[in-house]
């Protein structure tokens, strides 16, 4: 895999974080306008490979991840890049309350089902650009 030199401008999306093609296109355009770009990987193996090579500015993880586990990806992101915010995207399987509180050290937010594309963009862009994590 090859990534741009400024990986901190990258939003890594693991799993099916953005369901609708129109929402994905709008998100990519909105991130691009803010100097950010989206890298999508289908599962845990690809996410871990990315995290071994690059430090993204933000990690989005589908809680309904079918190719691996969301917690394994969040754990690796926290271990390698403790200042990198993680946003969980609500999906099937796990729910926000299932996430162990120890994993929340770099969890910045959760995107609930049905969040509008503009609101999702604002949340993602805010955390990708701020690098500031909330206290729990």
Which H, E and C letters describe 60-103, residue by residue? EEECCCCCCCHHHHHHHHHHHCCCCCEEEECCCCCCHHHCCHHH
pLDDT at 71: 87
* 114 pLDDT more than 60: yes
CATH number of this structure's domain 7-129: 3.40.50.2300
- Structural domain spans, the chain: 7-129
pLDDT at 135: 40
pLDDT at 102: 47
- What tens digit of pLDDT does each residue of 24-56 get? 888 888 888 888 889 999 999 999 999 999 999
The region of weakest confidence among 63-77, 81-95, 115-129 is 81-95
- What tens digit of pLDDT does each residue of 92-103 get? 555 555 555 445
């Amino acid at each position: 895999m090859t990534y741009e030199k400024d990986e901190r401008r990258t939003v890594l999306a693991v799993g099916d974080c953005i369901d609708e093609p129109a929402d994905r296109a709008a998100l990519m355009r909105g991130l691009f306008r803010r100097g950010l770009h989206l890298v999508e990987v289908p599962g845990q193996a690809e996410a871990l490979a990315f995290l071994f090579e690059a430090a993204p500015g933000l990690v989005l993880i589908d809680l309904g991840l079918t190719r691996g586990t969301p917690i394994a990806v969040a754990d690796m992101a926290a271990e390698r890049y403790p200042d990198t915010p993680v946003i969980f995207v609500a999906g099937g399987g796990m729910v926000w309350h299932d996430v162990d509180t120890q994993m929340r050290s770099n969890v910045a937010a959760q995107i609930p089902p049905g969040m509008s594309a503009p609101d999702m963009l604002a949340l993602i862009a805010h955390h990708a650009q701020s690098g500031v994590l909330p206290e729990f």
